[in-house]
Amino acid sequence: MKLRIAIQKSGRLYDESISLLKECGIDLRNVKDRLKTESDNFPLEVFFLRDDDIPQYVEDGVADVGIVGENVLYEKCKEVEVLEKLGFGKCRLSLAINKNEDYVANFLQGKRIATSYPVLLQKYLEEQKITAEIHEISGSVEIAPGIGLAEVICDLVSSGSTLFMNGLKEVETILESQAVVIKNRELNSEQLALVNKLLFRVRAVKKAKKNKYILLNAPNDQLAKIFGLLPGMKSPTVLPLAEEGWSSVHSVLSEDEFWEKIEQLKAAGAQGILVVPIEKMII
């Protein structure tokens, strides 16, 4: 049996989805311009689909799991289960208006809003008790105000440069989105076992990216203080140096607190600090 996974055939999630599978040690045959391929070293079959179609394929059981953006998943409202947030493909679904307008209370009431995400937009408007006219369009939503179709747009934003170039400014965020792993709700025990094997690898890769392995030299009379700054996975590894009164300390630091901890370690007497990327991290 092979696990069937659906990923985007092109676009912003394709490259990182393929990269993730390869970092998980999964070899894929030639993937360029293919509708599907298989791995030679893991029981995995990969389908390359339009991102809008992935939730439906997973719900219908054509694919067992999929990688898709939360924006697409929640717009399509399919009965699938979210297994893991992947940390890439981050963007936000936001409202934007003409940069010269003031965004005041009740601004959206009665406005025309152009979007490719009518379901998510309608849900937001209902939650905010706003009545507005939704114009569903596909592609080039940002030009809608310029051609008189709408006063407001609701679209995906990453850097905001597209809005800026079209004379728009972001005023509200409806959804923070990133790539997620989804699965069909009716998988059998054999399929679930393969899903868990894949997730084990994915989580090891994710954990490694969020941490750094560090090595440092420290005077023995400062070790207790340094240990307090380095929780590591359980506790730091300590090895005696040839120079009496000094030790080599090995540990792991989270990327989120890395620079703050490095400054504190330096202040505590640490020297010769080396930082090494981690390829995989198994907890």
Specify whether 139 is located in the same domain as 85: no
Cα dihedral angle (92, 97, 102, 104), rounded to 10 degrees?
-60
Q: What is the pLDDT of residue 267?
A: 94
d(CA 211, CA 275): 10
Please tell me the predicted confidence (pLDDT) of residue 232.
60
CATH for 97: 3.40.190.10
Domain identity same for 7 and 55: yes
Share of the chain above pLDDT 70, in %: 99
Same domain, 121 and 252: no
In a domain? residue 184 = yes
User: What mean pLDDT is predicted for residues 11-24?
Assistant: 93
Q: Are residues 10 and 60 in the same domain?
A: yes
Do 155 and 31 sit in the same domain of this protein?
no
Same domain membership, residue 146 and residue 32? no
For the cut 80, the answer to whether the pLDDT of residue 231 exceeds it is no
| Segment 189-193 mean pLDDT | 96
Q: Are residues 200 and 83 in the same domain?
A: yes
Query: Has residue 282 been placed in a domain?
Result: no
Task: Answer yes or no: do 22 and 130 share one domain.
Answer: no
Q: Are 214 and 277 in contact (CB under 8 A)?
A: no
Q: Is residue 99 located within the same domain as residue 164? A: yes
In this structure, the answer to whether residues 15 and 61 fall within a common structural domain is: yes
The tokens for 185 are: 């709700």
76: nearest Cα among 116, 20, 104: 116
Residue 233, pLDDT above cutoff 70: no
Domain holding 79, by residue range, is 3-89+179-208
Confidence check: pLDDT of 234 > 80? no
Query: pLDDT class for 135, splitting at 50, 70, 90?
Result: very high
Mean pLDDT of 51-70: 97
Pair type for strands 271-277 and 211-219: antiparallel
Please give the pLDDT value at position 10.
87
Q: How many domains is the chain partitioned into structurally?
A: 3
What distances in angstroms separate CA 109 from CA 98, 103, 104, 135, 167, one per listed residue? 16, 12, 11, 15, 22
Please report the pLDDT score of residue 31 as a whole number.
74
43 inside domain:
yes
Supply the mean pLDDT for the chain. Answer: 93
pLDDT tier at 70 (50, 70, 90 boundaries)?
very high
Its pTM stands at 0.87
Give the span between the Cα atoms of 153 and 233, in whole angstroms: 46
In-domain check, residue 170: yes
Is 197 found in the same domain as 249? no
Query: What are the angstrom distances between the C-alpha of 175 and each of 35, 124, 221?
Result: 30, 9, 51
Could you give the CA distance from residue 57 to residue 183 in angstroms, rounded to a whole number?
10
Is the same domain home to 17 and 77? yes
3-state secondary structure of 270: coil
Report pLDDT for 12.
83
Among residues of the chain, what percentage have pLDDT more than 90? 82
Structure token pair of residue 204: 């090891």
Q: What is the pLDDT of residues 152-177, one digit of tens each?
A: 999 999 888 889 999 999 999 999 99
CB 258 within 8 A of CB 251: no
Beta strands in 146-196 (DSSP E): 152-157, 168-177, 179-183
Residue 183 inside a domain? The answer is: yes
196 pLDDT more than 90:
yes
96 inside domain: yes
Ordered DSSP codes for 196-251 = HHHHHHHHHHHHHHTEEEEEEEEEGGGHHHHHHH---SSS-EEEE-SSTTEEEEEE
Contact call for residues 78 and 54 (beta carbons, < 8 A): no
